[in-house]
Structure 1
Amino acid sequence: MLFIGGSGNISLSSSLRLLQQGHELWLLNRSGHCSELVGAHYIQADINDEAQVKSKLQGHEWDVVVNWIAFTESDVARDVALFTAKTKQYVFISSASCYENPGPTPIITEKTPLANPLWQYSRDKIAAEEYLLATYKQAEFPVTIVRPSHTYSRVVPLTIGGWTEYTAIARMKAGKPIVVQGDGYSLWTLTHADDFAVGFCGLLGNPITIGEDYHITSDQFLSWNEIYQQTAAALGVDAKIVHVTSEKICALNSDYIGTLLGDKSVSAIFDNTKIRTAVPEFNPKITYAEGIQRVINWFEADKARQIINSKTDNFIDLLIANA
């Protein structure tokens, strides 16, 4: 199997699982190594340098190719050119933010239409999906589409001051207020990458998945208030929440229009019937309370990981002052 990427927030858990299962795993990346993936093989190259990659791939054929870092139609068109007749399965990592939300039903299934007028990232992923499925139908290119939804392992999955930042966590620890969008009652699904990996790895090399799409998420959904409260509880503090409308947040910083108005300002609850049918062992077990404790432990094991962004910190103060 070949992973393009394979050592990131979502993908590392899947890489580790495959190695633990005894699979031969190759990673194509710019560094040519990952100290945590003992036993993996490497092709050092930049996937965006098509000529370099084509040269490095000579003589190789794969049962499975997964591109964890493809975002646009041009990215996947390049991959089709590189891997046609060289792989039995190509897996595109899309996004559950592609789903129309609110959709025709409160529960999201793979039949929910794809549309996101507020986030270019999602529209680019949709265009890539459409290209791949058309190539599958016209030329039998063996694609499988996977849509993660807010999957975390070594990031803080909070809306403002989280992800690779430690800003929101540092504010909680210092007893400072933090911002939750809206009234905090919309429902959201957070998935730990270790749970995601069980479903994902079960799709690889599975012939029934060719030409199909799957989302892979936790079955637990929480309100945003609960997400912040459980994060604070993992730190041993109380969450001092200030609610600010999504519209006001985006008016003060347009960078949040896609990720907030185009995603996190509405509820997202998923029906995982399709992935369970394909991978019966998929049974997400990691609650958010357990998962966020793992995240905090990881950040606190190394001071260098605890990045506090003064610009974000000041923005949170601005939102609170204007609440």
Structure 2
Amino acid sequence: MKVLFIGGTGNISKESSKLAISRGVDLYVLNRGNSKVDIAGVTSIIGDINKLEELSELQKHKWDVVVNWIAFTPEDIERDIALFKGKTKQYIFISSASCYQTPLNYPVITESTPLSNSSWEYSHNKILCEDRLQKAYREEGFPITIVRPSLTYDTVFPIAIGGFRHYNTVDRILKGKEIIVHGDGTSLWTVTHASDFAKGFVGLLGLLPAIGHAFHITSDEVLSWNMIYKILANALGKEANVVHIASDYICKIEPSFTGTLLADKAESVLFDNSKIKVFVPGFKATIPFSEGIVKTINWFNANPEHKVISPEEEQKIENILQAYHKL
């Protein structure tokens, strides 16, 4: 099976690339050459998907599957439809579980949960991308499959403030400083290790019954935010000095957190993974957060250049804490 990944070396996609190779997929990865493709067995194509003059090598191929890990706007989708119509048997768009209805009318999310999130431009654009692809499927037969990851981690910290690609909150935990947990920390969430996500995702590659369908792929482990931060601190050998602050107040002081909090992580979310388990029999997430976060910490320790402490993020955290303590 001949597969093209546009992207393929990031936090989520790298584990999927490695698993695909291990299963005999003839995998090509298109990127701009800024990040080295160090996955054995991958054929690298250097080029910018937005620059047609750099895609002459790409145009020589027909594909069983094309996966775009880095499409974010309807313009990206228009470009891909033009590039790959008639040249691939399956086009997989990486959307986001943040597209689901916000706020939720019912906390258990299935793939039929309405898509509606106008509070975060990222999510709104992903919804517009899905709308365009569904139209292309219905009217032109463009062979789409949509995948909606939730908070998936490997080389990032899956926390709401001072995390992801930033090392700020981890650094604060290590130094015994106060960290912010939104709300009272009892709302529920699901974090998924990229290796587990890959098991479901790679099972969709070339799966013709999946054409026209959308899937989310997450762990079945459900944790409160209090527990997520406690497990993180425990893995660091520390105890978290937590300050609980209402999400509304956090966003009032620092509006830049509105998307990640009020439009995504402020309320409880439970994912029903029945659909992916039907289409990919045997799919099961097996890496609990207590194990996965140790892998992430070990990766950062082995790659200290990625321990980026953002001064801007740190100032936002301090601004929120100072405002809160003045109340």
Q: Secondary structure at the match of 2:136?
A: helix
Q: Which runs of structure 2 are paired with 1:136-215 in the superposition (5 Å)?
A: 136-215=137-216
Structure 1 counterpart of 2:8, which letter? Answer: G
By how many angstroms is 1:318 displaced? 2.3
State the 1:117 CA deviation. Answer: 1.8
Counterpart among 46, 52, 63 of residue 44 in structure 1 = 46
Classify the secondary structure of the residue corresponding to 2:147. strand
- Structure 1 segments, 4+ long, off by >4 Å, are none
Give the letter aligned to residue 305 of structure 1.
H
Looking at structure 2, the residues matched to 43 and 10 of structure 1 have their Cα atoms a distance apart, in angstroms, of 20
CA distance in 2, matches of 1:262, 1:284: 26
Q: For the residues of structure 2 that align with 1:295 and 1:267, how far apart are their CA atoms?
A: 24
Checking the alignment, whether the CA contact within 8 Å between 1:32 and 1:45 is kept in structure 2 is: no
Kept in 1: contact 2:230–2:240 (CA 8 A): yes
Question: 2:29 aligned with 1:27, yes or no?
Answer: yes
**CA contact 1:33–1:42 (8 Å) conserved in 2:** no
Alignment deviations for residues 139-181 of structure 1 (CA, whole Å, 9 cap, x no partner): 1100000000010000011111111111101110111110001
- The partner residue of 2:7 within 5, 8, 16 is 5
| Counterpart position of 1:292 | 293
Single out whichever of 288-297 and 299-308 deviates more from structure 2.
Answer: 299-308
Aligned in 2, Cα 1:136/1:35: closer, same or farther, shift over 3 Å? closer
- For structure 2, the residue ranges without an aligned partner over 5 or more in a row are none
Match of 1:238, SS state, is: coil
2:109 and 2:178 map into 1 onto residues whose CA distance is 33
Contact 1:94 1:125 in 2 (8 A): yes
Aligned residues: 322
Shift, 1:295, TM fit:
0.7
Deviations 1:199-220 (A, max 9, x none): 0000010011000000000101
Partner of 2:238: 237
- Residues 50 and 253 of structure 1, relative CA distance in 2, 3 Å threshold: farther
Normalising by structure 1, what TM-score?
0.97
Structure 2 counterpart of 1:43, one-letter code: I
Aligned to 2:86: 85
Normalised by the length of structure 2, the TM-score is: 0.96
Cα distance, 1:131 vs structure 2:
0.5
SS of 1:134 mapped into structure 2: helix
SS of the counterpart of 2:9? coil
Q: 1:203 to 1:305 in 2, by over 3 A?
A: same
Task: Give the AA of the match of 2:236.
Answer: L
Report the counterpart of residue 268 of structure 1 in structure 2.
Answer: 269
Equivalence for 1:122: 123
